[in-house]
Amino acid sequence: MSELRPDTKAVHIPMPPIDGSRPITMPIYQTSGFVFDDPAVMAASMGRPDGSYVYGRYSNPTVRSLELAVAGLEGGTSAISTGSGMGAINVVLLGLLRPGDHLVAQRSLYGGTAAMINELAERFGITVSYVPENDPAALRAAVRPETKLVYLETISNPMTLVADLPAMCQAARELGILSVVDNTFATPLLCRPFEHGADIVVHSTTKYLSGHTDVVGGIAVFADQELYERAWRFAIELGASADPFAAWLTLRGLQTLALRMERHCSNAEFLATRLAEHPAVTAVHWPGLASHPSYELAGKLLPGFGGVFSFDLAGGRAAGEKFMSSVRLALLAPSLGGVETLILHPATTSHRSLSPDELRRSGIGEGTVRVSVGIEHPEDLWADVAQALA
Ligand SMILES: *Cc1c(COP(=O)(O)O)cnc(C)c1O
């Protein structure tokens, strides 16, 4: 070819190959598609999760790196990264359920998941039954011939109820039903649901896995390759795929997960214990406290009890609102699992879509405050909480 003109040279930038060394960290492959030398390889790669990279909505090396990392931590075979936790949950629910199917879900669910399940019931002809998270007999009683999925959360939001995963997943397995576990609050460092018989694990990677409150993402991890491929086909149709930069931020956060979780757990223990002794507080909900309904199960199932807890103020809604406008270090904000301590009022924010009746059934009071404890020094956090209570 003749010497290219500047207009063309500017478009086709050089991409020198890397020989003899390689990057220490996973690079961000900020490209929407991939170039082929061989049209036959391109044709063979379309529509296959294990083919060469074709198009960013199907897969991307940075995104794949995150999928391998989280699948490895959870002990699954493969994973699908998504643009949000709800994206991952919907890949699973919409990808595996069809009209006429029946779903059994635990009663206390993340607000967004609860809203989505209501939507499935109303608009998509999928029926839903709710059972307690720790009652395999209730699960067996709820199951019908058309039941396809059981949906659980390792640690629930905001009352931190711990699901009896060994009993519930075992029951589902005996009944021939797939079990899906949202492991966002526990992370694979505190619990690996596949070890207890789960089939699919979902995460909002927005929370602990990325850990720095700077990215929204999700992931669905599969124990079984065939199930993964079914969900993958649906995921690319749904268009819920993760962005490479978001995946990269999550990978970067993941490297310090163990250090952060240790501090989140110890800070939560410190604050929960002190709050439980405070006269303005009527109850503290954290599974590491003997007063919590999941205390015994949590002790058997989890090596640590997580960084989220909630507490009830004696003064109800007014006291809750006063507390939230009085903290200085803790930030009034949505989300959780980041390095900063965040607080919110579930009744008016994360769980606003629940009716008063549903709220009561989830155990959420008018004066309930949820705390996602960060990794600050515990005494600084306590000083802030104590001045806000005073
Ligand atoms: C935040 C959260 C989700 C939803 O994740 P997004 O990333 O906000 O879409 C689902 N489950 C749990 C337990 C969560 O905390």
State whether 210 and 86 are in the same domain: yes
For residue 89, report the distance from its CA to the centre of ligand 1, in Å: 9
- Has 135 been annotated as catalytic? no
For residue 207, report the distance from its CA to the centre of ligand 1, in Å: 8
- Using CB distances shorter than 6 Å, the residues near ligand 1 are 84-86, 110, 112-113, 153, 157, 182, 184-185, 204, 206-207, 216, 218
Is the pLDDT reported for residue 355 higher than 80? no
Q: Measure the CA–CA gap between 61 and 370, rounded to whole angstroms.
A: 37
pLDDT tens for 179-218 read 999 999 999 999 999 999 999 999 999 999 999 999 999 9
Position 274 in a domain: yes
Q: Which pairs with CB-CB distance under 8 Å and at least 24 residues apart come from 228-234?
A: 228/49, 228/77, 228/78, 228/79, 228/80, 229/49, 230/95, 230/96, 231/80, 231/91, 231/92, 231/95, 231/96, 231/200, 232/49, 232/78, 232/80, 233/47, 234/91, 234/94, 234/95, 234/96
- The single-letter code of the amino acid at 341 is T
- Has 57 been annotated as catalytic? yes
Residue nearest to atom 8 of ligand 1 (CA): 85
Q: How much is the pTM?
A: 0.96
Q: Measure the CA–CA gap between 299 and 372, rounded to whole angstroms.
A: 21
For residue 35, report the distance from its CA to the centre of ligand 1, in Å: 35
- The residue behind tokens 């803790």 is 330
Position 1 in a domain: no
Task: Provide mean pLDDT across the span 296-304.
Answer: 98
Q: Are strands 218-222 and 281-285 parallel, antiparallel or unpaired?
A: unpaired
State whether 269 and 228 are in the same domain: no
Residue nearest to atom 5 of ligand 1 (CA): 85
State whether 195 and 71 are in the same domain: yes
Is the pLDDT reported for residue 285 higher than 80? yes
309 contacts 283 by C-beta, under 8 angstroms: no
In the three-class reduction of DSSP (H, G, I as helix; E, B as strand; rest coil), residue 373 is classed as coil
Position 236 in a domain: yes
Is the pLDDT reported for residue 354 higher than 90? no
- Has 322 been annotated as catalytic? no
Comparing CA positions, the residue from 309, 232, 212, 240 lying closest to residue 88 is 240
Is the pLDDT reported for residue 357 higher than 90? no
Which mutation among 204, 264, 310 tests ligand 1's pocket best, with the greatest number of atoms within 8 A of CB? 204
The rounded percent of the chain whose pLDDT value lies above 90 is: 88
Position 105 in a domain: yes
Domain-ending residue, one of 226, 254, 282: 254
Residue 156 confidence (pLDDT): 95
Residue nearest to atom 7 of ligand 1 (CA): 85
Residue 78 confidence (pLDDT): 98
Residue 273 confidence (pLDDT): 98
Please state the domain count of the chain.
2
Residue 146 confidence (pLDDT): 98
- Has 110 been annotated as catalytic? yes
Work out the pLDDT band at 171, boundaries 50, 70, 90.
Answer: very high
State whether 99 and 220 are in the same domain: yes
State whether 245 and 130 are in the same domain: yes
Residue 367 confidence (pLDDT): 86
Q: Which of 182, 243, 312, 384 is catalytic?
A: 182
For residue 39, report the distance from its CA to the centre of ligand 1, in Å: 40
pLDDT tens for 63-112 read 999 999 999 999 999 999 999 999 999 999 999 999 999 999 999 899 89
Q: Which atom in ligand 1 lies closest to the alpha carbon of residue 87? A: 9
State whether 61 and 135 are in the same domain: yes
Classify each residue of 372-389 as buried b or exposed e, where b means 16 or more C-beta atoms within 10 Å of its C-beta: bbbbbebeebeebbeebb
Position 189 in a domain: yes
Domain-ending residue, one of 254, 271, 287: 254
For residue 36, report the distance from its CA to the centre of ligand 1, in Å: 37
Q: Which of 16-30, 98-112, 314-328 has the lowest mean pLDDT?
A: 314-328
Residue 81 confidence (pLDDT): 98
> Would you list the DSSP string of 270-312?
HHHHHHHT-TTEEEEE-TTSTTSTTHHHHHHH-SS--SEEEEE
- The CA angle 188-116-91, to the nearest 5 degrees, is 55
Which CATH number covers residue 313?
3.90.1150.10
pLDDT tens for 227-282 read 999 999 999 999 999 999 999 999 999 999 999 999 999 999 999 999 999 999 99
26 contacts 251 by C-beta, under 8 angstroms: yes
State whether 249 and 264 are in the same domain: no
For residue 308, report the distance from its CA to the centre of ligand 1, in Å: 13
According to DSSP, residue 152 is labeled: E
Which CATH number covers residue 11?
3.40.640.10
Q: Which atom in ligand 1 lies closest to the alpha carbon of residue 216? A: 7
pLDDT tens for 117-134 read 999 989 999 999 999 999
Q: Please state, as a whole number, how many other Cβ atoms lie within 10 Å of the Cβ of residue 19.
A: 6
Residue 359 confidence (pLDDT): 73
State whether 304 and 350 are in the same domain: yes
- How far apart, in Å, are the Cα atoms of 346 and each of 182, 331, 349? 19, 15, 5
For residue 114, report the distance from its CA to the centre of ligand 1, in Å: 11
Q: Which of 58-67, 339-348, 364-373 has the highest mean pLDDT?
A: 58-67
State whether 191 and 268 are in the same domain: no
Q: Which of 48, 55, 57, 224 is catalytic?
A: 57
Structure tokens at 300: 């058997």
Q: Which atom in ligand 1 lies closest to the alpha carbon of residue 184? A: 13
Owning domain of residue 302: 258-389
What is the rounded average pLDDT for all residues in the chain? 95
Residue nearest to atom 2 of ligand 1 (CA): 204
- The CA angle 255-210-292, to the nearest 5 degrees, is 105
Is the pLDDT reported for residue 362 higher than 90? no
Q: Measure the CA–CA gap between 203 and 153, rounded to whole angstroms.
A: 10
Residue 252 confidence (pLDDT): 98
250 phi and psi angles, rounded to 5 deg? -70, -40
For residue 3, report the distance from its CA to the centre of ligand 1, in Å: 54
Which mutation among 110, 117, 152, 161 tests ligand 1's pocket best, with the greatest number of atoms within 8 A of CB? 110
State whether 328 and 227 are in the same domain: no
Q: Measure the CA–CA gap between 267 and 376, rounded to whole angstroms.
A: 8
Structure tokens at 27: 């690079």
pLDDT tens for 364-377 read 888 899 999 999 99
Residue 177 confidence (pLDDT): 98
Position 24 in a domain: yes
Q: Measure the CA–CA gap between 203 and 189, rounded to whole angstroms.
A: 13
State whether 355 and 241 are in the same domain: no
Q: Please state, as a whole number, how many other Cβ atoms lie within 10 Å of the Cβ of residue 357.
A: 8
Is the pLDDT reported for residue 2 higher than 90? no
Q: Which atom in ligand 1 lies closest to the alpha carbon of residue 88? A: 9
119 contacts 142 by C-beta, under 8 angstroms: no
Q: Which of 64, 192, 207, 263 is catalytic?
A: 207
Domain-ending residue, one of 254, 281, 298: 254
Position 218 in a domain: yes
Q: Which atom in ligand 1 lies closest to the alpha carbon of residue 185? A: 13
State whether 79 and 202 are in the same domain: yes
Work out the pLDDT band at 352, boundaries 50, 70, 90.
Answer: confident
Position 195 in a domain: yes
